[in-house]
Amino acid sequence: MPENGLFTSTVALSAQPDRMCVKAGAVNGEEGFPLSLDMLLILDIMLHEHDLAAAEAQFTAVRKAPLAADAQAAVDELSYSGNTCSIHARRGTLTVRDDRKMVRAADLTAQSRSTRQVLRALGMRRNLSHDPETPNFRELFTELQERGLLVPSIGEIEWGQLRRLTPICPDFGISRGTPIDRHYLNQFIAEIRDLVQGDVVEIGGNDGNKDVYGFTRTSGYRGLDINDAPGVSLVGDAADPGIIPADSLDTIIAFNVLEHTARPWQVVDNMRQWLRKGGTAYCMVPSAQRLHGAPEDYWRPLPAALREMFGAWSEQTVYQYGNPLSVIASLMGIAAEELDALELSTYHPDYPVASCIVARK
């Protein structure tokens, strides 16, 4: 945990009938993570007091004190339609939004600034109580920070070597190690390795990739590419439905391909036509990667776009990889070897580096 620097709260909460939980910005898909009364108190305090030592002293003092009358009155007077409301703590303000009407219900900044207990009062209204044992402030701070709810104050971000207008490596990070998107593709391949079987065509690949990927259950493996090259059995445009006979394949692979096609939905329809009933497509697209022609770069499909493009298929499963740090690393050309296992594996639903899909005809 950092001992120096200034920090502030930045969080959107959902005030539900029986709990206070994270509404947006959660790591690892933990939207809805419930917050304890002590966590709420820390968030309220650090919305205004950014020095750790001073915030810890306030936490100790306020936690022992009875609920402030002004904070209680603010919560008693709060009115909104429906059973829930949203609480926004950011840039030194604390506001309440009516979830049903989608309008601001109250501005409780003044009460929060004077008492540091508005979130505490909201939690108590929902029958939350303090732990009988005094918690470790620093441990709670660290947990809130790791969940992205406590961040450096404005002007306190340490940019270091990332404060630059050119990438670390303009070639995806290849000069430094494994590109971030390739690391995630390798994870996806490991997930599907034992599922790929039968007569296979890889769009944008070559015949030898079967061994590169470790696909051992195939009866045939052919690469299809728009350009004639060694190891490419099929030369043609995947947007042309006549390039492969209908109902003739068991599996289609398309890694880093759909973003380079002008009409990816047409290619997806062709794949469905080429597969036998029960056949499967395995696709990966980058969501956070520098632009590059091959021959053109048209799209960065997001997970929802993949689900839409494969909507007519009988089954589909989307895999999403990435988080804010790995997005930055990917765009800056920082290699996977320069991040640790947790930094690579942590999943954030709003920050995909790579999106993959398994779809069955």
Tokens of 29: 């898909």
pTM: 0.87
Which pLDDT does position 169 carry in this prediction? 97
Which residues on adjacent β-strands are paired with residue 22? 13
| Cβ-Cβ contacts under 8 Å for 90 (sequence gap 6 or more) | 9, 10, 11
Residues of the chain with CATH 3.40.50.150: 180-360
Measured CA to CA, the distance from residue 208 to residue 221 in angstroms comes to 8
Closest of 281, 333, 329 to residue 170, by C-alpha: 333
Determine the Cα–Cα distance for residues 167 and 14; give it in Å rounded to an integer: 38
Q: Are 291 and 298 in contact (CB under 8 A)?
A: no
- Give me 321's structure tokens: 């990889």
Tens-of-pLDDT digits for all 361 residues of the chain? 555 689 999 999 999 999 899 986 555 545 678 899 999 999 999 999 999 999 999 999 999 999 999 999 999 999 988 888 999 999 999 999 998 888 999 999 999 999 999 999 999 999 998 888 889 999 999 999 988 899 999 999 999 999 999 999 999 999 999 999 999 999 999 999 999 999 999 999 999 999 999 999 999 999 999 999 999 999 999 999 999 999 999 999 999 999 999 999 999 999 999 999 999 999 999 999 999 987 899 999 999 999 999 999 999 999 999 999 999 999 999 999 999 999 999 999 899 999 999 999 9
Q: HSE-up of 176 (CA within 13 Å, CB side)? A: 19
pLDDT at residue 35, rounded to an integer: 92
- H/E element holding 254? strand 249-255
Closest CA to 7 of 37, 61, 47: 47
Q: Please give the CATH number for the structural domain made up of 180-360.
A: 3.40.50.150
